Amino acid sequence: DVKVTQSSRYLVKRTGEKVFLECVQDMDHENMFWYRQDPGLGLRLIYFSYDVKMKEKGDIPEGYSVSREKKERFSLILESASTNQTSMYLCASSLSRWQGPNQPQHFGDGTRLSIL
Instruction: Summarize as ranges the residues that interact with another protein (CB under 8 A).
Output: 4, 9, 31, 33, 35, 40-45, 48, 50, 56-59, 90, 92, 94, 97, 101-110
- Residue 18 C-beta: closest distance to another protein, Å: 25
In this complex, which beta carbon is closest to another protein, that of residue 76 or of residue 90? 90
Collapsing DSSP to helix, strand or coil, 25 comes out as strand
The C-alpha atoms of residue 75 and residue 39 are separated, in whole angstroms, by 23
- Residue 69 C-beta: closest distance to another protein, Å: 21
- Residue 90 C-beta: closest distance to another protein, Å: 6
Give the containing element (helix H, strand E) for 112.
strand 111-115
In this complex, which beta carbon is closest to another protein, that of residue 33 or of residue 74? 33
In this complex, which beta carbon is closest to another protein, that of residue 70 or of residue 97? 97
In this complex, which beta carbon is closest to another protein, that of residue 15 or of residue 92? 92
The C-alpha atoms of residue 107 and residue 102 are separated, in whole angstroms, by 16
- Residue 67 C-beta: closest distance to another protein, Å: 18
The C-alpha atoms of residue 31 and residue 18 are separated, in whole angstroms, by 25
DSSP string computed for 68-111: EEETTEEEEEESS--GGG-EEEEEEEES-GGG-TTPPPEE---E
